[in-house]
Amino acid sequence: MDEVLKKLDSAGIGKIEKNVSLSKCTTYRVGGKCLCMVFPKNVQALRKTLSILKDGNVKYKVIGNGSNLLFSSKVYDGVIIRLDELNEVEFLTPTKIRVEAGYSLVKLSMLAAKKGLAGLEFASGIPGTVGGAVYMNAGAYKSDMGYIVQDVTVLTPDLRIVKLENKEMDFHYRTSFLQKHPGYICLEAVIRLEKGDKSAIEEVIRDRRKRRMESQPLEYPSAGSVFRNPEGMSAWKLIDDAGLKGYSIGGAKVSEKHANFIINYDHATGEDVKNLIEYVRSTVKEKFDIELKVEQEFVNWE
């Protein structure tokens, strides 16, 4: 590992930080430390980073804003790669945007609204990056990335750059090709929107922000909805009906405001959050014979 870190240091790939607390990099605000965090300055630097890590047989994880990740409290004995520097955005046409993976999804939705472009209103409250949103097929209000992505440029496991069309991305409810092929990395996406009424778009965004403030525990660290909605049902209602609102383990609690949110209300650990997730799943299964699927990704629990 030391030899690999020396190679990374001398490769001119961008900012490198050592012994970083992962609690600063996730919206749950939990997690142990990672030995090394790399911020590649461009796609070429990312390829160089991955080449060094693969040659050295060092494990790595590519993350965005950490808005859908749950890290354990253990040290991550590998390299975390953040794509913050891949943040270019350009208009290819008046309604078509090329945007790199590290760009903020909320920022993109605001940019679209200012230009009077409709289609991204659903994303105005999703605190992830474009890359993370494509990976998860993030969505809300009966829309998701699959409706607006034209194509995605990815880095393959053998470090080739290829373009995948919308159909090839296999977008479905909270999933995509990238989840089923974890060696692939989203580099950028082309988003296709429609001309709309600027004031009407901004009004939708304002109204939804107000509704989120009223219905979601945004004053606490969380990762948004914990469970996917079973077909024809709401996960929050199942959890509420199971009597779990307000239930806590350690510093983690099922929100009393929205039962499908688990909040870090009192210095929770990753273990507190994970144990509470598993308790909610097992309780709902026991009471209603319904298996809730977790939206979040567990990292460094093996």
The strand pairing partners of 261, in sequence order, are 225
DSSP H helices in the chain: 2-10, 43-55, 105-114, 130-136, 177-180, 198-215, 235-241, 270-288
Give catalytic status of residue 209 as yes or no. no
Give catalytic status of residue 174 as yes or no. yes
Residue 26 — left, alpha, or beta (φ > 0 → left; ψ -120 to 50 → alpha)?
beta
The whole-angstrom separation of Cα 148 and Cα 131 is 14
Q: Which residues contact 131 (CB under 8 A, 6 or more apart)?
A: 62, 64, 83, 86, 100, 101, 102, 185, 186, 187
Q: Report yes or no: 113 and 123 within 8 Å, Cβ to Cβ.
A: no
Give catalytic status of residue 225 as yes or no. yes
User: Of the residues 104, 109, 225, 255, which is catalytic?
Assistant: 225
* CA distance to 15, 23, 211, 223, per residue, from 264 (Å): 30, 11, 21, 10
User: Of the residues 98, 174, 208, 212, which is catalytic?
Assistant: 174
- Active site residues per annotation: 174, 225, 295
